[in-house]
Amino acid sequence: MTQPTGPETGVPVCYRHPGRESHIRCQRCGRPICPDCMRDAAVGFHCPECVAEGRRTTRSDRTTYGGLRPTNAATTSLAIIGVNVTVWLAILLTGGAGSRLLDLLELRPKGFCDLGNGLINLSADQATCTSHGATWMPGVADGAWWQLMTSAFTHVEVLHIAFNMFALYVLGPQLEMVIGRARFLALYLISALAGSTLVYWAGPEYGATVGASGAIFGLMGGLLVVALKMRANPQGILIWIGINFLLTVSVSGISWQGHLGGFLGGAAVAALLVYAPRGSRRTTVQVVGLVAITLLLLVAIALRTAALT
């Protein structure tokens, strides 16, 4: 490449400003550049054209579906695992299956009065129950609305939390890498709420449900939708989903309501995120859609509460 020089002196001049003598060269293309054309680089200076070309060829900081590309796709999953383990340890240290903390965090559609020795009173309200020295077991319909979310971070058995956290560690980073951290967290939490909502509607009125399984099934549903959208081979995730649903219906004590609700919620959120139109309005469409799904779940919860009370 020939370098621009002054017509009379032969000294190098800025390739963009021929009247300006310059002895500084672009570190990429080697052309002389004047102070007005210098752009700071990791080493030396670049010319404006090389900077623009670098921006075009540099990997985007956005994921395929609009989220910020995480530097470590496992961060959010590890944080959620940390919360679950902390709650599990707190329950373990306060009595395990007999912990009062567990009574407050687990999902129970309706509250009842525990008289002790295996006796319960379903007709007494909280004030009457506690005034007679009995233990009130709170339920969502009686005002313990927080259980719809806290139950998704609550475990008692070691195998239960171990399996759920392993599944989260395997599935979570894959989704976060594709949709970004904020969207992944929204998918996880809405899936948990969707699982709790179906438990609230279709589970035993006085039964208790705990576990992150609803959110985990939501991740399975989300990964299936993403795989189908990207036209990838969904065989692996379909096998995983099939095995887990088979266990759900064949093993006693497992909440099929939480699993099915979480799966449907995760699939719906993922479909909204990956099929939102590309362009400047994509984020707006995604946010409005996430709010709409959440509101639908809250309406369903309100209707169920009205029916139970």
* Ordered structural domains, the chain, with CATH: 1-58 (no CATH), 76-308 (1.20.1540.10)
* pLDDT score, position 46: 85
* pLDDT score, position 55: 67
Task: Give yes or no for residue 287 having a pLDDT over 60.
Answer: yes
Interval 98-107: pLDDT, tens: 999 999 999 9
Residue 231 Cα distances to 92, 234, 266, 295, angstroms: 44, 8, 19, 31
Min mean pLDDT across 17-21, 79-83, 305-309 is at: 17-21
Task: Give yes or no for residue 24 having a pLDDT over 50.
Answer: yes
DSSP β-ladder status, 112-116 and 119-121: antiparallel
Task: Give yes or no for residue 41 having a pLDDT over 80.
Answer: no
The region that residue 117 occupies, defined by phi over 0 for left and psi between -120 and 50 for alpha, beta otherwise, is left
CA torsion 218→206→106→294, rounded to 10°? 40
Task: Give yes or no for residue 48 having a pLDDT over 70.
Answer: yes
- Check if the beta carbon of residue 111 is closer than 8 Å to that of residue 126: yes
Task: Give yes or no for residue 58 having a pLDDT over 50.
Answer: no
**What confidence tier does 1 reach under pLDDT thresholds 50, 70, 90?**
very low
Q: What is the pTM of this model?
A: 0.81
- How far, in Å, CA of 34 to CA of 25, rounded? 9
Active-site residues, by number, are 213, 259
Interval 161-210: pLDDT, tens: 999 999 999 999 999 999 999 999 999 999 999 999 999 999 999 999 99
Mean pLDDT in residue range 13-27:
83
* pLDDT score, position 5: 52
Task: Give yes or no for residue 72 having a pLDDT over 50.
Answer: yes
Strand partners for 120: 114
- How far, in Å, CA of 73 to CA of 172, rounded? 8
Tokens of 14: 């800025």
Residue 309 Cα distances to 37, 109, 123, 257, angstroms: 73, 11, 12, 21
- How far, in Å, CA of 125 to CA of 120, rounded? 12
- Which letter does DSSP use for residue 119 in this model? E
